[in-house]
Structure 1
Amino acid sequence: AAGGTPVMSKTGHAFIKERMRTEDAIYGGEMSAHHYFRDFAYCDSGMIPWLLVAELVCLKGQSLGELVRDRMAAFPASGEINSRLSEPAAAIARVEAHFAEEAQAVDRTDGLSMSFADWRFNLRSSNTEPVVRLNVESRGDIPLMEARTRTLLALLNQ
């Protein structure tokens, strides 16, 4: 709505800060609720998003619960699901092979991201723990997101 262009980055503050500087980005964020701002020396801040949300609640005249519910209904997400696997690379390769024909886009900026007409996922090995992290999202379709999450977890755990 404000004319920004999303740019992918590897997860982790060092990678995000470097990419933000390269792109002269005004904002960067992670699924883990880290928020980085150019005007705050690219540092992580929880206070700035909290203040922006407080302003949005005041401007919209809706409760935070109402605003969040509307966004979550539009883009249901699994949340980050962590799995300890004995062979993570093989599991990720198995998932990629399973969805290769169906995927509309594949991105390997940070693990394996595959996009489809009405859903997408990211699967990556953690940089800090011996786990793989899975995030699944859909466009307004909770049952689809849940079904795809079950399929992905079954493939990972084969």
Structure 2
Amino acid sequence: MASALIALGGNVGDVRATFVQAIAEICRRADATLVARSSDYMTPPWGEVQQPPFVNACIAVETAVAPHPLLAILHDVERLFGRDRARETRWGPRTLDLDLIAYDDVTLDTPDLTLPHPRLFERGFVLVPLAEIVPERRIAGRRVEEALGAVSRDGIQPLPSAE
């Protein structure tokens, strides 16, 4: 079994309810075990800033599904919740964004998948929830908690538990 880290984001619709359903769907389709789930965080938009704030979270799962098929599953789950990557604005509003952040210690650089995620160490909205669940994990030789210290956390606010 491999340890995969997945970032979740969205700013259209009931994002937190979408996360609950999407995580269940990811686990079902990837025959994965949910090992950890971060809190949800309200975060300012990134890239295209003229849009509503996002909700972001991260999960850690154990799965036997290889990286490329796992990415395909993540894209299928996005479509299930209304995302159309072909028609959307880059970094624009979306119902659900799923990014494969890391997969064990695998390093890949293919046209459709780069591991670890190429912008991981630039994104507080990923590193904050990731540090909550795997602070000691090393990705590309860097501890998640240390990497978090190098990015801005401005505007990133934990949301109260949805339960």
TM-score above 0.5: no
Q: Which structure would you say has the larger RCO, counting Cα contacts within 8 Å and 6 or more residues apart? A: 2
TM (normalized to structure 1)?
0.30
**Which has more helix, going by share of residues?**
1
- TM value normalised by structure 2: 0.29
Higher Rg: 1
